[in-house]
Structure 1
Amino acid sequence: MTFSLVARCAETGMFGLAISSSSPAVAARCSFARAGVGAVASQNVTDPSLGPATLDLMQGDMSAQAAVDEVMRVSNFTEYRQLIAIDKNGATAIHSGPNSLGIWTQASGLDVASGGNLLANDTIPQAIVDGFVAAKGHIGDRLVAAMRAGLAAGGEAGPVHSAGMKIVDNVSWPVADLRCDWTEGCPIENIATAWEVYKPQLDAYIQRALDPREAPSYGVPGNE
């Protein structure tokens, strides 16, 4: 019921993740990222504990592959899980259990990996990877382009209703964490619109946290 990608920007060291599903609030349960460490998507009959567990191992200098292997070794019901990870070096790892739903598959490329289940066809993850690799600009722009490419290739077998995009950089919190928890429209386009609004203010929100004396104001009532 889900397709996603995890990615790294080789120029900035930022990590990002984007995800969409027919289920509600998919990003709240399936997306995990940590600055300087990596990003993880835990999906398909989701166990949200797998994301932080994988990040903890990668923070201890395990590669993405070693971390995913270890998490799968000690976890239950791994035949139902999809786990997609990228580490600080841009190396990726994917576990797709044989009980993943419907048409499921995975793909990886330079600094990016993608997986999905209950897909319209088996080309979706590769289209997502190709979309990310071909796109230029900020990692957020590339994540949006990748998800649009996956949707254009067919997306899920049915309509998607939720989506999210998370980006981490050099601070302990996500510098962007955009979500559409439910819509009858296109949640990926909702995220794309939110990113267009948020992107010009991203650096200012970081500055406000680090030193509000130097932070710009946008003059909006209730601006925070």
Structure 2
Amino acid sequence: MTFSIVGRCAETGQLGIAISSSSIAVGARCPWLRAGVGAVASQNVTLPALGPQILDALEAGQEPAVALDQALTRNGYSQYRQVALLDSQGRSALFSGSEALGTHNALAGEQCVAAGNLLSSPAVIAAMISAFEQTPGALAERLLAAMHAAMAAGGEAGPVHSAALKVVGDLVWPIIDLRVDWAEHDPIGELDKLWQAYRPQQQDYITRALDPTAAPSYGVPGDE
């Protein structure tokens, strides 16, 4: 039903999540990030509250495994949940409940964790970890490479229809927040197209926010 990768850039400290699902609008429910704190992918039978609760605990100084356990215990029904997270230091925690759907797996790698359920095989998650670790470049590129590797390894047992990419850096808002809420075919490919369009404009939007006097013009009505 869902597979995801949570990654950290050791050079910049950026944190990011890429995720895809057979369900609609996975980006609205499952990826949770907070700059300087951590990143949480909450999936399977999704409880969105787990993301903010775990991030609150991390921000209060809890270690990832403790933050995860406290949130699962607090909300109950943990057997239905699957969660993968990294904190701002790159420390990880993983959980797959006994009622996780279909073939499922969760693994930690170097500065990354990946998890999935209703997979075509457990090897999908290992392929994601390998692709993230071996791909050079920006964090967003590495996260998307992991998603493409997942599909090449078989992806989900059925078709996927939504995907999302989210990255936080030094600012309080996400520097990348791209979503494909529904596509009949290849939402990861559509997400990659969005990233290729957004990538050359990413810094411009940060500049526009921080210093409007230096804001570049895009030539739209009223934009001078």
**With structure 1 as the length reference, what TM-score do the two structures score?**
0.97
Match of 2:32 in 1: 32
Distance 2:86 2:212 in 1: 33
Deviation at 1:221, TM superposition (A): 4.2
Q: 1:190: which partner in 2?
A: 190
- 2:29 is paired with a residue of what secondary structure? helix
Flag structure 1 segments of 5+ consecutive residues without an equivalent: none
Q: How many residues align?
A: 224
Amino acid at match of 1:177: D
Gaps of 5+ in 2: none
CA distance in 1, matches of 2:223, 2:105: 43
C-alpha deviations, 1:37-91, integer Å up to 9, x for none?
A: 1100000110000000011111112222221121122221000000111001101
Using the alignment, how far apart are the partners of 2:214 and 2:73 within structure 1?
A: 48
Q: Structure 1 residues 13, 193: CA separation in 2 closer, same or farther (over 3 Å shift)?
A: same
Q: Per-residue deviation at 1:170?
A: 1.1
Paired position in structure 1 for 2:56? 56
How far off its partner does 1:124 sit?
A: 1.1
Q: 2 CA distance for matches of 1:220 and 1:135?
A: 36
Identity %: 50
Indicate the larger mover: 26-35 or 211-220: 211-220
Query: Residues of 2 paired with 1:63 and 1:74: CA distance?
Result: 16
The CA distance in 2 between the partners of 1:223 and 1:67, in whole Å, is 45
What is the CA-CA distance between 1:222 and the residue it aligns to?
6.6
Give the TM-score normalised by structure 2: 0.97
Superposed counterparts of 1:156-175, under 5 Å: 156-175=156-175
Letter in 1 for 2:162: S
* Residue 138 of structure 1: aligned partner: 138
Residue deviations 1:141-188, cap 9 Å, x none? 111101001111110000100000001111111111100011111000
Q: Which residue of 2 aligns with 1:12?
A: 12
Q: Which residue of the partner structure matches residue 82 of structure 1?
A: 82
What is the CA RMSD across the aligned residues, in angstroms? Answer: 1.3
Separation (CA, whole Å) in 2 of partners of 1:125 and 1:172:
30
Q: What does residue 199 of structure 1 align with? A: 199
